[in-house]
Amino acid sequence: MFNNFFFIGLPYAAIVVMLIGTIVRYFQFGFKVSSLSSQFLESRELFYGSRPFHWGLLFLFFGHLIGFLFPRSVLLWNSVPIRLLILEVAALGFGLSALFGLFLLVIRRTKHKRIMAITSKMDIFVYVLLFTQIISGLWIAYYARWGSVWFASVLSPYIKSIVILNPDIAAVSAMPLSVKIHIISAFVLIGMIPFTRFVHFLVYPFSYLWRPYQYVIWNWDRKKIRSSKNLVNGVRSKNN
The per-residue pLDDT for range 81-137, each reduced to its tens digit, is: 999 999 999 999 999 999 999 999 999 988 888 888 878 888 899 999 999 999 999
For 111, half-sphere exposure in the C-beta direction (CA atoms, 13 angstrom radius) is 10
Quick one: pLDDT band at residue 57, thresholds 50, 70, 90?
A: very high
pLDDT in tens, 20-54: 988 887 777 655 555 666 666 677 888 889 899 98
SS3 state of residue 219? strand
Q: What is the pLDDT of residue 72?
A: 92
Ramachandran area for residue 49 (φ above 0: left; ψ -120 to 50: alpha; else beta) = alpha
Listed range (52-61, 115-124, 182-191) with the worst mean pLDDT: 115-124
Which pLDDT does position 92 carry in this prediction?
Answer: 94
Give this prediction's pTM. 0.78
pLDDT of 229 > 70? The answer is no
DSSP 177-192: HHHHHHHHHHHHHHHH
The pLDDT mean for the chain works out to 83
pLDDT of residue 196: 83
Residues 130, 131, 132, 138: is their CA dihedral positive or negative? positive
pLDDT confidence bin for 61, thresholds 50/70/90: very high
> 54 versus 237: which is more confidently predicted?
54
Query: 41: helix, coil or strand?
Result: coil
Query: How many C-beta atoms lie closer than 10 Å to residue 57's C-beta?
Result: 20
